[in-house]
């Protein structure tokens, strides 16, 4: 390929595709188009250290404009791609510009799912996806007394922890009967429930938000089924995401809860790749959605290789992390479908790993302040080796013996 490549979305996956194209030896034009006014930046600190004021906006940036310019990557920010003409191989930007392409990649990420009831009371009700959202939340928190977080998933709990660190009265309302239920096992949910409550966060499980109360357009409370109202000056909604698939769909790419890609980040359309949060990966055991930095980076590398006509499958062990208060949770592998949980370390000492097995085979682990066990799981799963449940439970057993 020699003609221009257009990458739609200048986030973690988009910038990786651009960088990897250069590493693959591609010398043609690269356009990296993002609708946000910022260049590529990291999102994980948005609910953690950036919200807490510990890191600056500058420190969020993945690449400076200079770094991109040195690689001859043309960054266009503050402008959305509004339509694509696949027959003419052109993308149309919101400001009227038209870019011709030979290679096309979607890295459009996703958007926060809004609360259906929020339309009635706008002020003070926020979701968190970008820098501007964190800024708005941060400003509102300064004046707030009562903070209600709707959703006890990773983002909701991270924001709850940070807001509690500011001394706010924080309530988390979760619909399921345990925290982070989609991602971790009951033992880990239980640990985090206790940890949040011990640090003063009020957590309500198995509840359903039915509406918002407000005065003069500003939220004053969150109503739940059963008639209880939780007072709120600020409401942060963390109830999941919606992948940005509309553009890909408009040109006929197969989408099913994300742009469907194979292990090499190829969509159903020849020569069109997709990477990151906007994708869902077709695997032998069904469609796999991963919303993580690792996935964006690895699929970005695969997409660049695929644009160059090469196969670079992303099949490494998935991993993810979440920081809540001083607690570092690290997840490795895919534990869905486990039939046995084996613990190493202890919840009392705030350092443990829950290893998940099916039919005696290691599927993954969740580690709390246990980085060695987390890394060992990743390496074992990548090497397709694993301990027995007895070995995993035995703190004297060294996983390195399996990794030699």
**Residues found near ligand FAD in the complex (CB under 6 A):** 8-14, 33-36, 43-44, 46-47, 80-81, 107-109, 128-129, 155, 244, 247, 276-278, 291-293, 296, 320-322
Give which of 377, 375, 370 is closest to 391, Cα–Cα: 377
Do residues 259 and 253 make contact, with C-beta atoms less than 8 angstroms apart? yes
- Least gap, CB of 25 to ligand FAD (angstroms): 23
Instruction: Name the residue nearer to ligand FAD (CB basis): 68 or 392.
Output: 68
C-alpha dist (Å) from residue 360 to 338, 341, 342, 346, 391? 9, 10, 11, 22, 11
Three-state SS at 170 = strand
- Least gap, CB of 108 to ligand FAD (angstroms): 4
Instruction: Name the residue nearer to ligand FAD (CB basis): 92 or 379.
Output: 92
Residue entry with tokens 């990649």: 105
CA-CA distance, 102 to 1, in Å (whole number)?
7
- Least gap, CB of 239 to ligand FAD (angstroms): 13
Please classify residue 142 by burial: count the beta carbons closer than 10 Å to its beta carbon, then call 0-12 exposed, 13-18 middle and 19+ buried. exposed
Give which of 252, 241, 306 is closest to 274, Cα–Cα: 306
Q: What DSSP character marks residue 25?
A: T
CA-CA distance, 147 to 113, in Å (whole number)?
19
- Neighbouring residues of 50: CB distance < 8 A, sequence distance ≥ 6: 57, 60, 131, 134
- Least gap, CB of 397 to ligand FAD (angstroms): 29
Instruction: Name the residue nearer to ligand FAD (CB basis): 19 or 392.
Output: 19
- Least gap, CB of 398 to ligand FAD (angstroms): 28
Instruction: Name the residue nearer to ligand FAD (CB basis): 357 or 366.
Output: 366
DSSP H helix total and E strand total for the chain: 12, 26
| CA 244, chain centre distance (Å) | 14
- Least gap, CB of 172 to ligand FAD (angstroms): 15
Give which of 231, 225, 251 is closest to 108, Cα–Cα: 251
- Least gap, CB of 396 to ligand FAD (angstroms): 32
Q: Are strands 351-358 and 361-368 parallel, antiparallel or unpaired?
A: antiparallel
Instruction: Name the residue nearer to ligand FAD (CB basis): 126 or 392.
Output: 126
- Least gap, CB of 240 to ligand FAD (angstroms): 11
Instruction: Name the residue nearer to ligand FAD (CB basis): 381 or 392.
Output: 381
């Amino acid at each position: 390929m020699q003609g221009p490549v257009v990458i739609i979305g200048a986030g973690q996956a988009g910038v990786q595709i651009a960088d990897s194209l250069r590493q693959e030896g591609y010398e043609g034009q690269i356009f990296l188009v993002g609708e946000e006014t910022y260049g590529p930046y990291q999102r994980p600190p948005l609910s953690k250290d950036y919200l807490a004021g510990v890191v600056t906006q500058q420190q969020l940036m993945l690449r400076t404009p200079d770094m991109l310019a040195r690689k001859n990557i043309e960054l266009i920010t503050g402008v959305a791609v509004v339509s694509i003409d696949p027959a003419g191989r052109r993308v149309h930007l919101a400001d009227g510009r038209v870019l011709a392409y030979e290679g096309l990649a979607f890295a459009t990420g996703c958007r926060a799912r809004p609360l259906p009831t929020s339309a009635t009371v706008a002020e003070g009700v926020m979701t968190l996806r970008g820098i501007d959202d964190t800024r708005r939340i941060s400003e509102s928190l300064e004046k707030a007394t009562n903070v209600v977080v709707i959703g006890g998933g990773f983002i909701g709990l991270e924001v709850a922890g940070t807001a509690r660190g500011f001394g706010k009265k924080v309530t988390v309302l979760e619909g399921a009967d345990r925290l982070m239920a989609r991602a971790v096992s009951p033992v880990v949910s239980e640990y985090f429930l206790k940890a949040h409550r011990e640090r003063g966060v009020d957590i309500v499980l198995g509840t359903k938000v039915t509406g918002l109360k407000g005065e003069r357009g500003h939220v004053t409370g969150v109503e739940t089924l059963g008639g209880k109202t939780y007072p709120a000056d600020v409401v942060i909604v963390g109830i999941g995401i919606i992948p940005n698939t509309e553009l890909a769909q408009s040109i006929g790419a197969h989408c099913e809860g994300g742009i469907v890609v194979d292990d090499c980040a190829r969509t159903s359309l020849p020569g069109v790749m997709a990477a990151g949060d906007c994708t869902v990966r077709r695997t032998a055991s069904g469609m796999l959605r991963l919303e993580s930095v690792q996935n964006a980076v690895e699929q970005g590398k695969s997409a660049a290789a695929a644009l160059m006509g090469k196969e670079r499958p992303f099949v490494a062990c998935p991993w993810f992390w979440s920081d809540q208060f001083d607690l570092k949770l690290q997840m490795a592998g895919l534990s869905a479908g486990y039939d046995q949980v084996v613990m190493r370390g202890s919840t009392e000492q705030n350092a443990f790993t829950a290893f998940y097995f099916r039919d005696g085979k290691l599927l993954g682990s969740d580690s709390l302040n246990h980085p060695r066990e987390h890394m060992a799981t990743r390496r074992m799963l990548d090497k397709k080796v694993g301990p027995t449940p007895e070995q995993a439970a035995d703190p004297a057993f060294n996983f390195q013996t399996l990794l030699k």
